[in-house]
Amino acid sequence: MRADLRLAWLLTRGSDRREWWRVLLTAVGAALATGLGLVVAALLPLDGYHEVTVGAGLLDEPGTRAGVIVALMLLLIPVGGFLGQCARIGAVHRDRRMAGLRLAGATPGQVRRIAALESGLACLVGSGAATVVSVPTLLALWHHPDPLSWAGMLLVAVLVPVLGAVVSAVALRRVVASPLGWIRRVRPAAGPGRLFRVATGLLALLALYLATTPFLGNPFDFALVPVTVFALCLLAGAVSVWLAGASARQLGEGFAARARRPELLIATERLRDDPWALARTHAAVLLVTVVASGFIGVRQVLLADLHEQHRRGHLAMGLSYYTSGLDLTGAAVLVALALVLTALAVGTAESLATRRRGLAAQAAAGVPHAVLARAMLLETALPLAPAVAVAGMGGLTIGVWYGSATSEHMSVPVPFAALLVPLAVYAACLLAAATSLPLLRRSIRPAELRYA
């Protein structure tokens, strides 16, 4: 184990700048995950009414507190997406290095341990930093924290690095199984796995069941609404991911055959070549689009409802008590959006870095920088358009359904504001992709021609 640790350290220290980026961003992601986990761990043991100085009173009542905890846990999804994207930085290089270790005589177990130690250490740094900041903050807010909170926080601080290590060991299973094959093989354009299809099917059944419950005469349990919204969000997300992948091949082939401009030709042929790559990168974006546009719809319904009750004097608390909850959720959605956009930018940068030798050769042959830049942006813009549209429609449907399910006695306008979400997300995605343009200029430097 000590030899493995030393080797892991040597490999990390001797690795190039991209690997350091991966370590740094992984640490940042781990810090975010730990931070969220720590807050949840601190809140979970609370029972009954507590006066909490933060959170606009939402943390005082057990009911609303549970809602906040669920929202925080949902935020772990985009954080996970971000971490997944970070793991791809320099992944090809790392896989080759690990395969090289295997060829040099390392046992599968050793390679797994070294890889696990590498990412485990990065996650440990992140979780350590988050814990160091969180503990004094908690002590300042809460003079005698529950021992259970301490236990929960310790668990989170340890669990994040351990999970990071386990995930990275699992990710290397193919390298471990066949080191030579992995080095030589060109990765096939893999579609979604069986797990994804089964999960989508189950989600669809669940959503169908839940959505038809009110019409089948069963008394509709109000508690089912959040579950239904959650299931519908996941379903719409899964469908748009699938659509992004499935349409990319047709889009690529259709456009490539007719492309007149070189940048369109390059972008569409890349789409056709690996249609699922972009779907994978964009999965989190699409999920957030569904959630965001769904949220806009739900928010509009809730606000109309609240104003109605406020007018009739039915509200127990001030209007701001209810709206601040909505605002906090909105903030969480924005945080999620920021996270997935960062992940998208990282993904684009990684795709450029992997192809830099080829890009440098194109530039050397006189392909103008502008053509390469436009091809890069088109690669994001083309497949994302239909997927984001479907995701937005899904979110809109969720909003409309929620309105009709919860307020039969009240006519709710269709939340057209939700349609602005996909447009905004689409524009933000293009901007995120455009952050890689300076990297493109650096990637095509002639110095890149010197390396294989």
Partner 1 sequence: MSNGDDSPDSTVPLLAARDLAKAHGRTEALRGASVELAAGEILAVTGPSGSGKSTLLHCLAGIVRPDAGSVSYAGERLDALPEKRLSELRRTEFGVVFQFGQLIPELTALDNVALPLMLAGTSRPDAHARAGEWLERFGVRGQEALRPGEMSGGQAQRTSLARALVTGPRIVFADEPTGALDSLATEQVMTALTHTARETDTAVLLITHDAQVAAYADREVRLSDGTVAPEFSTEATEAAV
Q: Given the rule CB under 8 A, which residues bind partner 1?
A: 186, 259-262, 265-266, 269-270, 272-273, 357-358, 360-369, 371, 446-447, 449-450
Neighbours of 360 (CB within 10 A): 19
Q: CB of residue 355 vs partner 1: minimum separation in angstroms? A: 9
Looking at the Cβ atoms of 44 and 361, the one nearer to partner 1 is 361
Question: Amino acid letter at 337?
Answer: L
DSSP codes joined into one string, 388-427: HHHHHHHHHHHHHHHHHHH-TTS-----GGGGHHHHHHHH
Smallest distance, Å, CB 100 to partner 1?
20
Shortest reach from residue 371's CB to partner 1, in Å? 7
- Rounded least distance, CB 277 to partner 1, Å: 11
Nearest partner of 246 among 200, 290, 291, judged by Cα: 200
Q: How far is the CB of 264 from partner 1 (least distance, A)?
A: 10
Question: In this complex, which beta carbon is closest to partner 1, that of residue 145 or of residue 262?
Answer: 262
CB of 314 or CB of 450, closer to partner 1: 450
Using the minimum distance from each CB to partner 1, give the nearer residue, 95 or 379: 379
In 313-383, where do the E strands start and end? none
Buried-exposed string 391-430: b where 16+ CB fall within 10 A, e elsewhere: bbbbbbbbbbbbbebbeeeeebeebeebbebbeebbebbe
From CA 92, how far away is CA 100, in angstroms rounded? 12
> In terms of C-beta distances under 8 Å and separation of at least 24 residues, what long-range contacts does 262-267 make, across chains too?
262/367, 262/371, 262/375, 263/371, 263/372, 263/374, 263/375, 263/378, 264/375, 264/378, 266/371, 266/372, 266/375, 267/374, 267/375, 267/376, 267/378, 267/379, 267/382
Query: Which of 57, 62, 157, 176 is CA-nearest to residue 114?
Result: 176
Q: Is 308 helix (H, G, I), strand (E, B) or coil?
A: helix
Query: Which residue number, 361 or 424, has a Cβ lying nearer to partner 1?
Result: 361
* Closest to partner 1 by CB, 286 or 363: 363
Shortest distance (Å) from residue 441 CB to partner 1: 11
**Which residue's CB is nearer to partner 1, number 118 or number 379?**
379
State the nearest-atom distance from the C-beta of 102 to partner 1, in Å: 24
Q: Minimum Å distance from CB 249 to partner 1?
A: 13
63 vs 366, beta carbon nearer partner 1:
366
Contacts of residue 342, defined as CB under 8 A and 6 or more positions apart, other chains included, come to: 82, 432
User: Longest Cα pair distance anywhere in the chain, in angstroms?
Assistant: 77
